[in-house]
Amino acid sequence: MSRLDDLKKRAVDEIEAHRDQLVELSLRIHANPETAFREAKAAGWLTDYLEAEGFAVERGICQIGTAFRASYGSGRPRVAFLAEYDALAGIGHGCGHNIIAMASLGAAIATKAIVPEAGGTAVVIGTPAEEAAGGKVLMASRGAFDDLDVAMLVHPGNRDVAVTYALACLELNVEYFGRAAHAAARPEAGINALDALVIAYNSVSALRQHIRDSARIHGIITDGGQAVNVVPEHAAGVFLLRDEDDDYLDELKEKVLACFRAGAEATGARLEYRWGEEARYRAMRSNRALAEAYRRNMEALGRQVQERDSGRSLGSTDMGNVSALVPAIHPTVAIAPPDVPIHTPEFRDVSASQAGHRGLLDAAKAMAMTAVDVLLDADLRRRIEEEFRGGQ
């Protein structure tokens, strides 16, 4: 057996040896769902476990109480496994983040076992609030991912896929200010802010026909006036712009803004707007070289893994912001049949089932084996790095 295969086998054995603890903690997090930035129990259990396993733990990093970093070893390469552990309001762990957390902890514990021989550092970064607030966006801007060589996170889903996509996403808040007047007695004295927003809304609808297929623009009206017999003096809305290309999103900003200016021009209402750039999600850039290593390792465990997601990307994830800073992958591991989508009570139940446990353990093993590849294979590291820099 080659040294590489020998170390991979030891990593896998290590996960088997921790199997019961990994599953038990997954079920405990699942049974105690906590939403964005309130994941105090989960963060406490995860960091206690890592500390007991010999990791150096920093709690509350990036001025976020439930964020953490744990590391074992020293120097480069630094291989990071990202843990999510937030739940959905109402549904609980309908996105299976308990599995994400424990797969990453399992992978880190296995990597720890081979670090004394292979060198480098095994790192776990605990990233809160993926669902509601984009915790990694905040953490990325505060330097949490700056000194890493690779970052991995496996998400449970319906298929085994190595390269997944996610859309860049930017929020736009708009307000129109008009002038109130009696809607029947003195309509000529009013300036209709709702009309301005409706014109803008319809302009956006017309624009959709003439932008890339991959782009999405969707919005709601949050204020359309207060009284039916008063010309609305104020109207407001929130819109989201998305695309798989960060640069194209910037082009879209101008086009969308023109729609809102049209509403102001047509009615005389004053437009105020604000782009949520500080919370902008970047498009997911999966590192192909790293994803290919992961795919081979997962297939060695007996799963058929699709090289890339064939369907169009649908949502957005804060992992995109990580992938802009460090070579990263965000594969999916199948735990549920195709008719059980994420963010449902059914998917929540699967996340605590035998199929969920199998996904957790396989994802941990595949990531740990990929970490062995990264630590031992200088040529792979060069290809990962070149691809990353080439795409900058």
For residue 110, the minimal CB distance to Zn ion (Å) is: 23
φ/ψ region of 73 (left if φ > 0, alpha if ψ in -120 to 50, else beta) reads left
Q: Which is nearer to Zn ion, 348 or 381 (CB)?
A: 348
- Which residues are CB-neighbours of 87 under 8 A, at least 6 positions away? 33, 34, 35, 39, 93, 94, 95, 97, 131
Q: Which is nearer to Zn ion, 111 or 316 (CB)?
A: 316
How many residues sit in the footprint of Zn ion (CB under 5 A)? Answer: 1
For residue 128, the minimal CB distance to Zn ion (Å) is: 13
Q: Does 103 engage in binding with Zn ion (CB under 5 A)?
A: no
Q: Does 259 engage in binding with Zn ion (CB under 5 A)?
A: no
For the chain, what is the radius of gyration of the CA atoms? Answer: 24
Candidates 30-38, 65-73, 93-101, 182-190: pick the segment binding Zn ion (CB under 5 A). 93-101
Q: Which is nearer to Zn ion, 352 or 372 (CB)?
A: 352
CB 100 within 8 A of CB 85: yes
Q: Does 109 engage in binding with Zn ion (CB under 5 A)?
A: no
For residue 96, the minimal CB distance to Zn ion (Å) is: 7
Residue 392: Cβ-neighbour burial (10 angstroms; 0-12, 13-18, 19+): exposed
Q: Which is nearer to Zn ion, 96 or 106 (CB)?
A: 96
Q: Which is nearer to Zn ion, 145 or 347 (CB)?
A: 347
Candidates 91-99, 182-190, 300-308, 381-389: pick the segment binding Zn ion (CB under 5 A). 91-99
Q: What are φ and ψ of residue 205, in 5° steps?
A: -60, -40
For residue 130, the minimal CB distance to Zn ion (Å) is: 6
Candidates 92-100, 253-261, 345-353, 378-386: pick the segment binding Zn ion (CB under 5 A). 92-100
- Cα separation, 68 vs 223, whole angstroms: 39
For residue 371, the minimal CB distance to Zn ion (Å) is: 22
For residue 97, the minimal CB distance to Zn ion (Å) is: 6
Q: Does 95 engage in binding with Zn ion (CB under 5 A)?
A: yes
> DSSP assignment of 19-44, as one string?
HHHHHHHHHHHHHS---TT--HHHHH
Q: Which residue stretches of the chain are H helix?
A: 3-17, 19-31, 40-52, 97-118, 135-141, 193-208, 246-267, 288-300, 319-323, 345-350, 354-376, 378-390
Record the tokens describing residue 157, joined without a space.
């889903």
- Residues 180-219 as x/- pattern, contact with Zn ion by CB under 5 A: ----------------------------------------
Q: Does 336 engage in binding with Zn ion (CB under 5 A)?
A: no
> DSSP assignment of 156-173, as one string?
EESS-EEE----EEEEEE
List contacts with Zn ion (CB under 5 A): 95
